Amino acid sequence: MKRTHHCNELRPLNIGQTATLTGWVHSRRDLGGVIFIDVRDREGRTQTVFDPSDLSKELFDQAGALRSECVIEVTGKVRQRPEGTNNAKIPTGEVELLVESLKVLNIAEVLPFPVDDPEITAKVNEELRLQYRFLDLRRPELARNLRVRSKVAIATRSFMDEQGFLEVETPTLFKSTPEGAREFVVPARMSPGLFYALPQSPQQFKQILMVSGVERYFQLARCYRDEDLRADRQPEFTQIDIEMSFIEREDIYALIEGMLHRLWKVALNKDIPLPFPRITYAEAMNRFGIDKPDTRFAMELVDMTDDFRASTFKVFSGAIANGGVVKALNAKGLACATQGQIETMTEYAKSFGAKGLAFIKVEGGEWKSPIVKFFSEAEKSALKTKLAIEEGDLILFAADQWTNACEILGKIRLYCADVLKAQGKLTIPSDRFDFLWVVDFPLLSFDKEQNRWYSSHHPFTAPVEEDIPLLKSDPKKVRGQHYDIVVNGVELGGGSIRIHQPDVQKTVFEEVLQIPPDMVKARFGYMLNAFRFGAPPHGGIALGFDRLIAILCGASSLRDVIAFPKTAKAPDLRPDSPCTFQPRQLRYLHLEIQVGKKE
C-alpha cells in the first residue's frame, strides 16, 4: 500500500511517528497563513497541517490550490493538536499530521454538489445525486450502507453454510412464466422470433433442485420484475432464496428466526427475541386491516357489526344486510385532524370503492358528527365502551364487505399513525423491531373482473392438508401452507410448503385456476415432468435482501442501499441505459422496432 495508515487510524499513541495517508481532500481551511486539509478515505478522516515555515513555497502553493475531492498522498509527522483544538466528533480528533511531502495523485473538477457536509448533501436533489452516483457513494451514510450490505450478505452465506445449505446459481435467461408481474424479455438470436424472459424468482429451478436431491438450497438471487418503480420496489432486486426438502412449516420458521437473529446481531449487535409471534391472516386483517401489520402501536380495528345490525342508520345496517361488516377505529387524540387530513382519509376510503368516510370528532364534551343523530343510545354506549372513547378522540368507520372494510381502516390506521408521529403524540424508538409470522392465508383469491380464482401466493403452494377436500366444493375456505415474515409493517419475505404430487398440482392448475392444459404444459411442463420422477415433499421462502438491508440501515428508500439503483427517470439520468440499438444490431436479432402509442 502507498499508505502506512488509513484515515481513521491515527491516535495519541502514534504521536512522533511518520505516517503516510492517501485519500480525498475532504475540506480545506486557510487559517492565518496555515492550511488545514482533512484527508478522507472510506474509514474516516484525519486533519493534516501545511505550515509555510516548514515547506517549500512550491509545495505550500500546491496545497493552497487543492480543490475538494482531489486525490492526494501526504507524508508527515503525527503530532498532538494544540490545546483547545481537539475535535471530539471524529476518532482521530486528538492528533494531526504535520505535512512534509505531498503528492497530488489526481485533480477533481469543481463538484456538482458538496460531499463533505451530510446535511447539505441530503438536501441536494436526488436526481442530481443519482446522476453523480460515484460522488454520492462517497458520503459516509451511503458508504456505511454498502458496508452493512456486504457484511450481512457474508453473514447470510456463513449461516446457511453452517445449516447445511448449498449455494446454487440458477439461470438468468429463462422463459416466460406469467403469473404475477410483467417480465423483461431478451431476444434469442439463435432462434429467430423467440425470446427469453428474465426470472421473477428462481421458483421453478429451486423446486427442481429438490427433485435433484439437493435437499437444502439457497442463493442470493437476482430477480427481475417489469413493474412501475416505487420507493419500495426496484425492477431488479436481490432475494435470499431458500428451499428445503422433507420439512414442515415449523422448520422454515425456526431456520428464518435463527438467520434473522444472526443478521441483527452482526449488523446492529442486537439480540432480537425469539420465537416470533404468529398471527393468522384473518386476525391480522380483523385487528390491523392489513396482512403485514405494524404492531409497534395499537390503534386496532374494532368490529361493530352486531351492534349496528338493526340500526336505523341505513348506511351501516344496509351494508350488514348485504353480507358486509361495520368496523371502527379510534385515532386517539386526533379530534384536531384538519379538513385536509379528513379529505385525505376520505380519498383512501373512496379508492376502495366506498362512497365516503363516516367519522366522529370528540371535542368539547360533544360527539361532533352528522351521523350521530341516527344512533340509538345502545349503539352510542356500545361505541363508547368498545372503543374506549374519550375527549380528543377521532372515530372512523368503514361499512363494507369484510376485506374492503378492513383494508380501508387499515390504510387509515397507518395514515393516522403518521399524523400522530408528526404531532409528537406517538413515538416509536428507531431500534424497535416487531417481527411476526403471518400464517393461514387463503390459498386462493377471487378475481371479479376475470371471474376466476387465482393463487394468493403462487400456484405451487400446498393447501392445508385438512382443507384439501374443499378445493373443488368451497375454494374460498381453503387455507394455504403459506407464511409471510413481517417486521414493523414491512413484508420481509414469504414462502410456502409446496405441492409435490404432480396430480394435485395438475388439478390446481387446470381445475381450480382454470389454466388451459396446453398453457400448463408450456409454462410448467418441465417442472411437472420432473415431479413424475420422485419429488420429495419440500417448501421454501424468499426474503427481499434490499428491503432487509434498508430496515437494518434505517433507510427510507431502497435506493439508499443499492449501489446503482434504477429510478423512475432512469433514461434521463443515465442516458446509456436503456439504450437504442443500431439497425444492424436489430437485424441480427431479427427484430423490427415499431414504437406504439402509450397505452
**Residue 496 contacts ligand ASP per CB under 6 A:** yes
Q: Which is nearer to ligand ASP, 38 or 241 (CB)?
A: 241
Q: Among the candidate windows 32-40, 65-73, 95-103, 538-546, which touches ligand ASP by CB under 6 A?
A: 538-546
From candidates 47, 170, 201, 245, binder to ligand ASP by CB under 6 A: 201
Q: Among the candidate windows 10-18, 38-46, 364-372, 494-502, which touches ligand ASP by CB under 6 A?
A: 494-502
In whole angstroms, the minimum distance from the beta carbon of 379 to ligand ASP comes to 44
* Exposed e or buried b per residue across 513-531, where buried means at least 16 C-beta atoms within 10 angstroms of its C-beta: bebeeeebeebbeebbebb
**Residue 542 contacts ligand ASP per CB under 6 A:** yes
Q: Among the candidate windows 280-288, 312-320, 355-363, 491-499, which touches ligand ASP by CB under 6 A?
A: 491-499
In whole angstroms, the minimum distance from the beta carbon of 184 to ligand ASP comes to 16
* Residues contacting ligand ASP: total by CB under 6 A: 8
With contact defined as beta carbons under 8 Å apart, do 47 and 92 qualify?
yes
Helices 402-422 and 281-288, axial angle in degrees (round to 10): 50
**Residue 455 contacts ligand ASP per CB under 6 A:** no
**Residue 203 contacts ligand ASP per CB under 6 A:** yes
**Dihedral over alpha carbons 62, 64, 70, 76 (to 10 degrees):** 70
* Residue-by-residue DSSP string for 69-138: T-EEEEEEEEEEPPTT---TTSTTTTEEEEEEEEEEEE--PPPSS-SS-HHHHHHS-HHHHHHTHHHHTT
Q: Which is nearer to ligand ASP, 41 or 546 (CB)?
A: 546
In whole angstroms, the minimum distance from the beta carbon of 218 to ligand ASP comes to 11
In whole angstroms, the minimum distance from the beta carbon of 225 to ligand ASP comes to 9
Alpha-carbon gap, residue 538 to 244, rounded angstroms: 6
In whole angstroms, the minimum distance from the beta carbon of 242 to ligand ASP comes to 7
In whole angstroms, the minimum distance from the beta carbon of 265 to ligand ASP comes to 25
In whole angstroms, the minimum distance from the beta carbon of 97 to ligand ASP comes to 51
Q: In what order do the strands lie in the sheet with 394-400?
A: 301-303, 325-331, 394-400, 359-363, 366-368
Q: Which is nearer to ligand ASP, 77 or 175 (CB)?
A: 175
**Residue 527 contacts ligand ASP per CB under 6 A:** no
In whole angstroms, the minimum distance from the beta carbon of 285 to ligand ASP comes to 20
Residue type, 293: P
* Site residues (CB under 6 A) for ligand ASP, limited to 314-353: none
In whole angstroms, the minimum distance from the beta carbon of 199 to ligand ASP comes to 9
Cα 113 to Cα 12, 107, 123, 132, 150: the distances in Å are 34, 16, 10, 9, 27
From candidates 35, 541, 552, 555, binder to ligand ASP by CB under 6 A: 541
Q: Which is nearer to ligand ASP, 237 or 453 (CB)?
A: 237
Q: Which is nearer to ligand ASP, 47 or 170 (CB)?
A: 170
Q: Which of 471, 475, 470, 527 shows the shortest CA–CA distance to 501? A: 527
**Residue 494 contacts ligand ASP per CB under 6 A:** yes
* Exposed e or buried b per residue across 549-583, where buried means at least 16 C-beta atoms within 10 angstroms of its C-beta: bbbbbebeebbbbbeebbbeeeeebbeeeeeeeee
- For 466, which DSSP code? G
With contact defined as beta carbons under 8 Å apart, do 203 and 539 qualify?
no
CB-based contacts of 365, cutoff 8 Å, min separation 6: 391
In terms of Cβ atoms closer than 10 Å to its own Cβ (0-12, 13-18, 19+), residue 353 is exposed
The set of cell numbers assigned to 341 is 387530513
With contact defined as beta carbons under 8 Å apart, do 576 and 264 qualify?
no
**Residue 209 contacts ligand ASP per CB under 6 A:** no
Q: Which is nearer to ligand ASP, 387 or 499 (CB)?
A: 499
Q: Among the candidate windows 246-254, 469-477, 507-515, 535-543, which touches ligand ASP by CB under 6 A?
A: 535-543
Assign 3-state DSSP to the chain and report helix, strand, coil percentages, each to 5.
35, 25, 40
Q: Among the candidate windows 184-192, 269-277, 527-535, 536-544, which touches ligand ASP by CB under 6 A?
A: 536-544
Contact string 366-405 vs ligand ASP (x = CB under 6 A): ----------------------------------------
Q: Among the candidate windows 362-370, 436-444, 488-496, 548-556, which touches ligand ASP by CB under 6 A?
A: 488-496
With contact defined as beta carbons under 8 Å apart, do 241 and 209 qualify?
no
Tally Cβ neighbours within 10 Å of residue 511: 12
Contact string 52-81 vs ligand ASP (x = CB under 6 A): ------------------------------
Alpha-carbon gap, residue 217 to 212, rounded angstroms: 11
**Residue 456 contacts ligand ASP per CB under 6 A:** no
In whole angstroms, the minimum distance from the beta carbon of 217 to ligand ASP comes to 11
Alpha-carbon gap, residue 169 to 186, rounded angstroms: 19
From candidates 495, 500, 531, 553, binder to ligand ASP by CB under 6 A: 495
From candidates 23, 289, 540, 565, binder to ligand ASP by CB under 6 A: 540
Q: Which of 403, 505, 500, 394 shows the shortest CA–CA distance to 448? A: 403
In whole angstroms, the minimum distance from the beta carbon of 280 to ligand ASP comes to 19
CB-based contacts of 536, cutoff 8 Å, min separation 6: 210, 211, 213, 215, 245, 246, 500
**Residue 207 contacts ligand ASP per CB under 6 A:** no
Q: Which stretches of the chain bind ligand ASP, using CB under 6 A?
A: 201, 203, 494-496, 540-542
